[in-house]
Amino acid sequence: MIKDIAFTAYPAKDVAKLRDFYRDVLGLNFNGEFAENGVLKYDEAVLGSGCFAVLTDEWAGRPPGSAASVAFEVDDIDRARNDLIAKGMTVEDIYDTPVCRLTSFQDPEGNKVTLHQRTATW
């Protein structure tokens, strides 16, 4: 029945500001902008076969800061973490598991963002 992940979306009070954070700090390229009455309501960045989106908390039906599901895959988690710290972000220590390495931080709306580096091959 399920064949892929279409998108995951994070709620925001200010979609443009949160979109700009993900673009400027994480390098995501957004190209799915939707506005109503001059107010940005939604925007998405294509990642692999799915999308990461930011949308109004009204549309999400969840308050900003309540999302915690996205884990972005990176090639070098140590470098990614150091880059974020250099940009003034507070980033958790890296956690090593038998199959991956993880670290997390909060976006400007308080949503949890995880960086993931797979170490196991399958």
Please tell me the total count of domains within the chain: 1
Could you tell me if 41 and 15 are in contact, meaning their C-beta atoms sit under 8 angstroms apart?
yes
Is there a domain that residue 113 lies in? yes
Is there a domain that residue 94 lies in? yes
pLDDT at 115: 97
Is there a domain that residue 1 lies in? no
Overall pTM surpassing 0.85 (yes/no): yes
Is there a domain that residue 111 lies in? yes
* 96 Cβ contact list (under 8 Å, min separation 6): 119
Is there a domain that residue 2 lies in? no
Range of the domain at 94: 7-56+64-118
pLDDT at 122: 72
Is there a domain that residue 11 lies in? yes
Give the CATH number, domain containing residue 17: 3.10.180.10
Amino acid at residue number 71: A
The secondary structure of the chain, three-state, reads: CCCCCCEEEEEECCHHHHHHHHHHHHCCCECCCEEECCEEEEEEEEECCEEEEEEEHHHHCCCCCCCCCCEEECCCHHHHHHHHHHCCCCCCCCEECCCEEEEEEECCCCCEEEEEEECCCC
Read off the tokens for 117: 């580096």
Q: What is the pLDDT along the chain (122 residues), one digit of tens a residue?
A: 989 889 999 999 999 999 999 999 999 999 989 999 999 999 999 999 999 999 999 999 999 999 998 999 999 999 999 999 999 999 999 999 999 999 999 999 999 999 999 998 87
